[in-house]
């Protein structure tokens, strides 16, 4: 038996939704805690399956993990044991690769099998490995596992061929204990990187240049514990803003950082969405005028986030005219288009772009969430569609959206889960 999400479309939404802590920051912050010699307490942790998988991995390393309240994790790595990470939990999420940098930094050794996660086309980790080698590590691949060793990590200058978020974070974590200074050029600038660097600095690291393309890390001998609160999830926030644009009469999205959403806000204004941007909230109002088509080009931050293009594509099926989405990060990130077409959309895919021919009437259908953000796009479409949509493989959605069901129901959506054969 499989659990599916069913959504009856056509119900107008009203009210306030509070955004949870950042999924993309959390999945790196948790592995970063093993760099500390004392307990770390993290606030604002989202209740998602990726976090549950990371808790299992910590416990396998003999790290004490306690959940306190709804969104607080107490992590005590005092008695950590650096054992090979080969369990099924590693395969459930791509972010398990952050243990490479963390364990290599702290112990000079890490052994981990190839991480899992959503398939979005080729996602090699060669930039991570090249960075570790530049710091002085040797890397072998045996029986499906990466084995990293270093008698001593030494600071150096590293240039990333691509401004990869994962590689930037992983190299940064390994470098905090390296001897001397490490400089990462063409570093990614995403807010989540600033969040991880800020946590590490609170633990005693010396990282400079956060938010720029040049990160400078001066190695230290010891990191201690601290208390830390995660930034709000900008992708979850964008998803709910798009949901509001699609179906709300008057909806407030709170606990956000508007600066992190500027590219999305600009595009929504271009298509004709009426909204008010506050210091830590956005209020979206019903738009009576037809939505205008637009062109989207995904880019690294501060450009339009690749994680937002799938839910935005669903909204653009209701624009009067032809829209284009061009994907520059993950070229194969168009599996949602086939599913949206099952619901009545008219989308042509010619990689690396898709062409949305609007406006089309959407209807309920049986569809599959092929990855996390595809699932978000299908939820947006289902809320707009006539009839009932049945979404399969919802475990992808649960990887990144905290209490999706409860938040949408509180806003007036008709949504429930059922077991089906």
Q: Which residues line the annotated binding site for UDP-N-acetyl-alpha-D-glucosamine?
A: 94, 123-127, 307, 329
Q: DSSP 3-state assignment of 244?
A: helix
Residues 346, 391 contacting (CB under 8 angstroms): no
Question: What backbone phi and psi angles, to 5 degrees, belong to 31?
Answer: -60, -35
Task: Compute CA distances 8 → 195, 377, 381, 385, 416, whole Å.
Answer: 38, 15, 11, 8, 9
Q: Is 118 a catalytic residue?
A: yes
DSSP-assigned letter for residue 232:
B
Q: In what order do the strands lie in the sheet with 64-68?
A: 64-68, 72-76, 40-43, 226-229
Tokens (6 digits) for 221:
């001998």
Task: Provide the annotated binding site for phosphoenolpyruvate.
Answer: 23-24
**In the β-sheet with 181-185, what is the strand arrangement from edge to edge?**
157-159, 181-185, 214-218, 206-208
Sheet with strand 2-8: strands edge to edge: 366-368, 388-392, 2-8, 414-420
Beta strands 366-368 and 388-392 are parallel
Q: 118, 226, 337, 354: which is the annotated catalytic residue? A: 118
Q: How far apart are CA 316 and CA 380, in angstroms?
A: 11
- Token pair belonging to 367: 């569809």
Beta strand 248-254 pairing with 281-285: antiparallel
Helices vs strands, H then E, count in the chain: 14, 23
* Catalytic residue set: 118
């Amino acid at each position: 038996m499989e659990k599916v999400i069913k959504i009856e479309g056509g119900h107008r939404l009203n009210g306030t939704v509070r955004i949870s802590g950042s999924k993309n920051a959390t999945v790196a912050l948790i592995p970063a805690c093993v760099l500390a010699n004392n307990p770390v307490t993290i606030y604002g942790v989202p209740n998602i399956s990726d976090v549950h998988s990371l808790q299992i991995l910590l416990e396998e390393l003999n790290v004490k993990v306690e959940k306190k309240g709804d969104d607080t994790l107490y992590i005590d790595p005092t008695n950590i044991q650096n054992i090979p990470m080969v369990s099924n939990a590693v395969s459930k999420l791509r972010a398990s690769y952050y243990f490479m940098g963390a364990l290599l930094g702290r112990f000079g050794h890490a052994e981990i099998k190839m991480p899992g996660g959503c398939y979005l086309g080729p996602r090699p980790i060669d930039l991570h490995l090249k960075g570790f080698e530049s710091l002085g590590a040797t890397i072998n691949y045996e029986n499906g596992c990466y084995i990293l060793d270093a008698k001593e990590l030494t600071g150096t200058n590293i240039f990333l061929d691509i401004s990869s978020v994962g590689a930037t974070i992983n190299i940064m974590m390994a470098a905090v204990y390296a001897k001397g200074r490490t400089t990462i050029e063409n570093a990614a600038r995403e807010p989540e990187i600033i969040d991880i660097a800020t946590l590490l600095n609170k633990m005693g690291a010396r990282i400079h240049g956060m938010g720029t393309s040049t990160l400078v890390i001066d190695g230290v001998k010891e990191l201690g514990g601290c208390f830390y609160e995660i930034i709000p999830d900008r992708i979850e926030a964008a998803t709910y803003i798009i949901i509001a644009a699609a179906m709300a009469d008057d909806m407030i999205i709170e606990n956000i950082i508007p600066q992190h959403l500027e590219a999305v806000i600009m595009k929504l204004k271009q298509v004709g969405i009426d909204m008010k941007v506050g210091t830590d909230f956005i209020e979206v109002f019903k738009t009576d005028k037809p939505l205008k088509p637009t062109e989207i080009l995904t880019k690294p931050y501060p450009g339009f986030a690749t994680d937002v293009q799938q839910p935005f594509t669903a909204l653009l099926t209701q624009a009067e005219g032809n829209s284009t989405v061009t994907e520059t990060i993950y070229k194969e990130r168009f599996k949602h288009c086939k599913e949206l077409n099952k619901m009545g959309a008219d989308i042509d895919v010619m990689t690396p772009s898709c062409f949305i021919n609007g406006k089309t009437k959407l209807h309920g259908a049986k569809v599959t969430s092929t990855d996390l953000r595809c699932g978000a796009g299908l939820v947006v479409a289902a809320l707009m569609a006539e009839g009932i949509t049945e979404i399969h493989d919802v475990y992808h959605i649960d990887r990144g959206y905290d209490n999706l069901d409860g938040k949408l129901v509180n806003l007036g959506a008709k949504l429930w889960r059922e077991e089906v054969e």
